[in-house]
Structure 1
Amino acid sequence: MSTKAEKAAIEAVAEKPFSMADFYTLGALEKGKKLPLTLPDGTETEHYLMVMGSDAPAARKALLEASRMMRDEAKEKMSVDAEAELAQRANLHYRSVLAFDWSFPVPYTKEAVTELLLNNPGLSLEVEKLASDRNRFFAKDSPAS
C-alpha cells in the first residue's frame, strides 16, 4: 500500500510532461563526477579527480584509440609480457583521458595524471569503474564513491 504522500508524488510526476531534453545525457557525462582520493592507507583527503562518463565523446575517442593501439601494435608471436605491457599502455591511455582534471595545487596535465594512474593501479581501476557507472552520473546529489 502506498501512503498519501507517495500517491501525491506519483501524481505530480505523472502530470509533468517530459521533453526530449529530459533524456539528454552528454552534459552530465562531459561535466564529470568527482572521485575522492584517499591515501594508500585509506586516509581521506580533500583531493579528487574529475572523471567523465564513458559515453562522453572524448571517452569514446580514447577507447577507439586504445583499441587501435592493441590492433596496430599486436604481433602474432608477441610474448605474454609484451602483450601485457601493450594492454597496460592501452588501458592507461583510456583511463588518463577519463580523468580530465584534479584538485592538486600543481597544474593538471595528461602526462601527470598518466604517471599517477600508472603508479596507483587501484586508482586507475576506480577511474574506469566510475566512468562506466551511468547511474552515478544521473542520480540526484550522489557522491562519486
Structure 2
Amino acid sequence: MQVDPRGQRFAAAVTSVMLIAVLVTGSWLLLAAQAVVFALATFLGLRYAPYGLVYRVLIRPRLSPPGELEDAAPPRFAQGVGLGFALVGMVGYALGVPWLGIGATACALGAAFLNAVFGFCLGCEMYPLIRRITTKIRNREVPA
C-alpha cells in the first residue's frame, strides 16, 4: 500500500499538539487517547488511523495530487514505536512516576515534531535498518 506523505506530516502535526497537551496537563488519559490512535494505525493500518481519515476526507480533496507516494510499512512501523513510548508514558503518569511519563511523552513528541515540521520520520528511518538487522540474524547459520 502506498500513502501520501503529506498525510503523514498532517498526522504528525496533530500528534504533536496532542503530546504537547499531555506534557502541559500531565494527563495519562490524553496520552491513552493518543495511544489508541497509534494502536489503530499500527494494527489496522494507516488507512484506519483517525488522523489519516481526517486528512483523507477533509484536507486531501482540496490539494493537488501528491508528487509521490511512499510505502506504508515504514510509517506504520513508526506508529508502533510511538505506541511503545505512549504506553510507557501512560504507565509513568498512572503510577505516579511523572519523570517516566514526561520522558516517554517528550521522546514521542520529538519524533512527531521532526516529521511534522521537517518531514523527517525517525521511525521510518529506523525501519530499513531494523529490517536489515533482523534479516541478517534470521539468515545467520547456526554452527552445529
Normalising by structure 1, what TM-score?
0.30
Give the number of the structure whose residues are more often strand, by fraction: 1
Normalising by structure 2, what TM-score?
0.30
Give the number of the structure whose residues are more often helix, by fraction: 2
Higher relative contact order (CA 8 A, sep 6+): 2
